[in-house]
Amino acid sequence: MPMNDIRTTDINLSSLSELLRASSRTIDVADTGAGLVITDNRAVYLKTYVGTNGIVRSRWEYPQPDKRGHVRGLRDHDTATVATFTDRCVELPPFVLTGDSSHQAIRLRLHLNRQTNRFAPHQVHTALRLPQLAASSDVRYDVWRSYHRLMQNIIDDGDTDAVFSGAIGRDLQLLMDAIASPTGLALIAALVIDEVERTKPDINKTEQDHQLRYVVEDLDYSGADDAGQLAELLDTAAELIAGVRVRPDFARVRAMRDLLTGIVNRLPENALADAGFTRGMAGHVLILISWWLGSDLSRLADAALRLEMLTEAQLTAAGTSAGVGLKPVGGSSVCTRAVRNGRPGWKR
């Protein structure tokens, strides 16, 4: 957001710093006289700067590695990922504080909680993983296997708490890296197709069904035609959900929605920018999963319309590039049009 688009307000730095210190054990606040510098021990390299005019700027500030090539608190792949960044300071979008000091403190705590609940920029290793995904079908198969192991863990536990809490495991790392790529939306669509195909009895499967068994492994991560690949997969996913009459396993579909939505919502801004899509664009694909569940379709159609209005500018821009193949018509996509105009096959 351009600085001239932000309305500033005077801040009582002393009052705000006292409220922040009193409200959280993880937050440390330094008052420089010209503003506040806020750190949170849950995110060591994240610093948040609050100016006297109320403008808040946050950034991840990564130090240079030591003589052995290590950065304190980072794993080797984390350090290698930071080395791929254009700048070792990763800026977050600025915003302005409004209201009284109590309201400002709440806003800052929510901001810090949101950032610490997301993956840090150094934790998304897509820059290192993408050449492997493009070159090796074995790595792409590992993505499929990691997804299914995570799904089983979520189904067994009944929630995603264990998957997303604590250290990032190998399965989550691999799936997250693949989703945070220019092929990420196509991967989500391919996983939806894979799940719908699982519900079909083998006796009724066609030659196309047998080919779709390998849809996740067959994804092209080279960037040769990201838009065309995504458009084809979205058409296939929407057609399958609308056409397959078999009732899905609701626990499994909900687990899929929670897992994939959880990853997308936790991706940092720089990873989304590198992947070439926004959370709103991902919502156009993820809404197919809710549509397949088939509950409260009229309300879901309204949600699809709101999503179209929210992302119209993003889709218009995407429609002029080769990066995203959502095939926008106005603010709608093939996904939201299916949700607004049709029903999943099992509800017919």
Q: What percent of the chain has pLDDT over 70?
A: 95
- Asked if 201 and 224 sit in the same domain, the reply is yes
Give the Cα-Cα-Cα angle 326, 268, 292 (nearest 5 degrees): 40
At 97 the pLDDT is: 96
* 11 and 51 Cβ atoms separated by less than 8 Å: yes
pLDDT of residue 313: 84
pLDDT of 8 strictly over 80: no
Residues 296 and 242 in one domain: yes
What pLDDT is attached to residue 73?
95
Same domain for 107 and 142?
Answer: no
Q: What is the pLDDT of residues 147-190, one digit of tens each?
A: 999 999 999 999 999 999 989 999 999 999 999 999 999 999 99
CA distances 30 to 37, 62, 95, 102, 107, Å, are 5, 19, 20, 18, 18
Q: 137 with 265, same domain? A: yes
One domain, residues 264 and 315: yes
| CA gap 274, 339 in Å, rounded | 29
Q: Which residue, of 89, 122, 155, is where some domain finishes?
A: 122
Q: Choose one of 104, 122, 140: the last residue of a domain.
A: 122
Q: What is the pLDDT of residue 9?
A: 67
Across the range 117-125, mean pLDDT stands at: 98
Predicted local confidence at residue 202, as pLDDT: 82
Q: How many domains does the chain fold into?
A: 2
Residue 107 shares a structural domain with residue 151: no
Answer yes or no: is pLDDT of 204 > 80. no
Domain boundaries, position 217: 126-347
CA distances from residue 195 to 141, 261, 265, 346 in whole angstroms, order as listed: 15, 16, 21, 14
pLDDT at residue 40 is higher than 90: yes
Same domain, 258 and 143: yes
Q: Identify whether the C-beta of residue 23 lies closer than 8 Å to the C-beta of residue 36.
A: no
Query: Which pLDDT band, with edges at 50, 70 and 90, does 294 fall under?
Result: very high
Confidence grade of residue 129 (pLDDT, cut at 50, 70, 90): very high
CB 282 within 8 A of CB 234: no
Report the alpha-carbon distance of residue 279 to residue 292 in Å, rounded: 20
pLDDT of res. 158: 96
SS3 sequence, the chain? Answer: CCHHHCCCCCCCHHHHHHHHHHHCCCEEEEECCCEEEEEECCEEEEEEEEECCCEEEEEEECCCCCCCCCCCCCCHHHHHHHHCCCCCEEECCCEECCCCHHHHHHHHHHHHHHHHHCCCHHHCCHHHHHHHHHHCHHHHHHHHHHHHHHHHHHHHHCCCHHHHCCCCCHHHHHHHHHHCCCCHHHHHHHHHHHHHHHHCCHHHCCHHHHHHCCCCCCCCCCCCCHHHHHHHHHHHHHHHHHHCCCCCCHHHHHHHHHHHHHHHHHCCHHHHHHHCCCHHHHHHHHHHHHHHHCCCHHHHHHHHHHHHHHHHHHHHHHCCCCCCCCCCECCECHHHHHHHHCCCHHHC
Q: Retrieve residue 95's tokens.
A: 């915003």
What span, in angstroms and rounded, lies between the C-alpha atoms of 136 and 222? 11
Among residues 87, 122, 157, the one where a domain terminates is 122
Average of pLDDT values for 210-230?
A: 93
Residue 242 has pLDDT above 70, yes or no: yes
* 208 confidence band (pLDDT: 50, 70, 90): confident
Which amino acid is present at 211? Answer: Q
Mean pLDDT, all residues of the chain: 93
Same domain (yes/no): 8, 145: no
Structure tokens given for 318? 């995407």
Q: Is the pLDDT of residue 261 over 70?
A: yes
Residue in the structure block whose two tokens are 């926008």: 328
Rounded distance between C-alpha atoms, residue 125 and residue 82, angstroms: 9
Global pTM reads: 0.93
Rg (CA), the chain: 22
Q: Are residues 142 and 82 in the same domain?
A: no
Q: What is the structure's pLDDT at 3?
A: 52
Write down the pLDDT at residue 288. 98
Under the banding of pLDDT at 50, 70 and 90, the label for residue 196 is: very high
Do 118 and 130 lie in a common domain?
Answer: no
Dist. CA 42–CA 55, nearest whole Å: 23
The reply to whether 111 and 140 lie within a common domain is no
pLDDT tens, 66-80? 999 999 999 999 999
pLDDT digits (tens, 9 = 90+) for 309-331: 999 888 877 665 655 688 777 77
Give pLDDT, residue 143: 99
The pLDDT value given to residue 2: 53
